[in-house]
Structure 1
């Protein structure tokens, strides 16, 4: 008979037929949870979405694709302070990573849309990003036999704006980066962390970072004012329209400088940081968060420990670590 024994440290083992085969350690009971597995979605839609993600015909002058700014080999962003639009000019806000974006409760820094489909719809017609219109996009794609066939395989009504948006969003929903060292830790493999990384995670919780960077995406599920404990924008100087955050949508004074809290997953691979790309390094970003969001003055040792923990949040894409 199988006998299940639980040691005093909570690690479960099963002795299968007396052979002593260990089960996986039990998942930790933590507020943060590991990423789910990449979803199994319609292969025809996923592949079509992948092609469209790399398709420059989505832009008005055939120069810019989604992959131009969301480089999957570079953490899902492009390592630039501000991505370059179709006209060769920089956009006015830092490009967030496309990885795990499907897990965010809203899209864009100011959270102005709820879905990936709506985000795609706006990017294509944005006068500073792709600068096109959906009628032109549909005409361009419909003129190509390969796309005609691909859309017919995935959608009964063929090439439409809604189907382009859905195919892209379906592909983006597969862009999850599971199996980070932190995910493995949460699943019970606590030996995968160094003692410093364990202390860093504890400091992350103790100082209150987890109050905003929470949920399965370690962020991306709430709004917060940038500068809770100090006037970040006054200290930085020269505010611009994009600094207004949700105020641009609501005209509510309470929403001035309020943004979607970014996900911290893969944060070590997505510099520079913040909507204004003002922090060039993870160390600078941590300093800003302590000063303006937490109002705390931690020791250098504590900051270093937290940074070591943050580096464990990098997952895998296409079987390779980011």
Structure 2
């Protein structure tokens, strides 16, 4: 869908003598006067996009975050001691591994592209099919998935962690009283760490009033993005992560082998429905989509336009959208994600 803005200029005529023409305005001055209007975005539209703030939840105690960081990097959370959370969600690469699908236990590849863990805690559901509603529920599911980290049972994980004295002490400090080493507490620690995986970007500076934070091309790209209707699904603080949508809403998705959320609900209404991903850091997290089928951001933008909107974008439109998407990339918090010494 395309939206075009038409401006009509009305000139009034009268019998009065016309005043003498004003002195000409230098081109540079005229351009400066026009520039703010050309860059202006409707404030009502921008209200759909609050800057990065509270979606990730309140900060957790430092000792709990530190425990979660250790667990995130620890390969002992996998059956063969060869995989950690960071293996598929590399924190120094914006939380992805750059693979179409990630390699799990026994060298077997998974079925879906591994999404970034940055900002995942602020999304309304986890995994492409939404089978976990919270980051706490999601955190330990890969540990027990036989195709991922493949720990045989919760009892095996708990026994392994209890046998490490420094882990036992860390759990006792973070979870005083009762039995400190439980799967639920492992999940809580991992989630506490992941809630700190945030990357404020130039887009956030723009939203808080710094009009110099985006280039003219990036502002143009956001206007194209919004005029096309992309903001219906990619909205909010995380520019996504708030709804499910059908892959191939207008033109059928090329790869029909994965039925998406249908596998969770067994409802035909959910066939080919997937969580709309956050677009934060999207320029850094190729390949794209649940099936990893687009290796470039330019290609992904064109695929979305064709299959979700029924539109063929021009090179100029595509380039502008890609430019704006680049403004959503923030700096990786290198100190926060630094690999810790393990117990």
1:163 pairs with 2:185: yes
Residue 307 (structure 2) aligned to one of 274, 292, 306: 292
Name segments (4+ residues, structure 1) moved above 6 Å.
Answer: none
Q: State the distance in 1 between where 2:76 and 2:69 align.
A: 14
Q: Contact 1:83 / 1:91 at 8 angstroms: preserved in 2?
A: yes
Q: What secondary structure sits across from 1:313 in the alignment? A: coil
Q: Following TM superposition, by how much is the alpha carbon of 1:219 offset from its aligned partner in structure 2, in angstroms?
A: 0.4
Q: State the distance in 1 between where 2:246 and 2:210 align.
A: 36
Q: Contact 2:59 / 2:195 at 8 angstroms: preserved in 1?
A: no
1:176 pairs with 2:198: yes
Q: What secondary structure sits across from 2:274 in the alignment? A: strand
Q: State the distance in 2 between where 1:129 and 1:119 align.
A: 13
Q: State the distance in 2 between where 1:51 and 1:169 align.
A: 12
5 Å matches for 1:116-195? Answer: 116-132=135-151, 133-156=153-176, 157-178=179-200, 180-195=201-216
Q: What secondary structure sits across from 1:109 in the alignment? A: coil
Q: Contact 1:117 / 1:169 at 8 angstroms: preserved in 2?
A: yes
Q: State the distance in 2 between where 1:161 and 1:222 align.
A: 29
5 Å matches for 1:1-322? Answer: 29-36=46-53, 39-132=58-151, 133-156=153-176, 157-178=179-200, 180-233=201-254, 236=255, 239-240=256-257, 243-318=258-333
Q: State the distance in 2 between where 1:193 and 1:222 align.
A: 27
Q: State the distance in 2 between where 1:158 and 1:107 align.
A: 26
* CA distance 1:319–1:136, shift in 2 (3 Å): closer
Q: State the distance in 2 between where 1:282 and 1:226 align.
A: 17
Q: State the distance in 1 between where 2:302 and 2:182 align.
A: 47
Q: Report the number of matched residues.
A: 289
Q: Following TM superposition, by how much is the alpha carbon of 1:118 offset from its aligned partner in structure 2, in angstroms?
A: 1.1
Q: Following TM superposition, by how much is the alpha carbon of 1:319 offset from its aligned partner in structure 2, in angstroms?
A: 5.8
Q: What secondary structure sits across from 2:140 in the alignment? A: helix
Q: Following TM superposition, by how much is the alpha carbon of 1:31 offset from its aligned partner in structure 2, in angstroms?
A: 1.2
| Structure 2: gaps (5+ residues) | 1-35, 37-42, 336-343
Q: Contact 1:124 / 1:134 at 8 angstroms: preserved in 2?
A: no
| Structure 1: gaps (5+ residues) | 1-10, 12-25
TM-score by structure 2 length?
0.81
Q: Following TM superposition, by how much is the alpha carbon of 1:51 offset from its aligned partner in structure 2, in angstroms?
A: 0.2
Q: What are the Cα deviations for residues 160-211 of structure 1, in whole angstroms up to 9, with x where unaligned?
A: 1111111001111111112x01111111101121111111111111111111
TM-score by structure 1 length?
0.86
* CA distance 1:46–1:285, shift in 2 (3 Å): same
Give me the CA root mean square deviation: 1.9
Q: State the distance in 1 between where 2:333 and 2:313 align.
A: 38
* CA distance 1:29–1:247, shift in 2 (3 Å): closer
Q: State the distance in 2 between where 1:298 and 1:88 align.
A: 39
Name the structure 2 match of 1:16.
Answer: none
Q: State the distance in 2 between where 1:80 and 1:297 align.
A: 27
Q: Following TM superposition, by how much is the alpha carbon of 1:124 offset from its aligned partner in structure 2, in angstroms?
A: 1.1
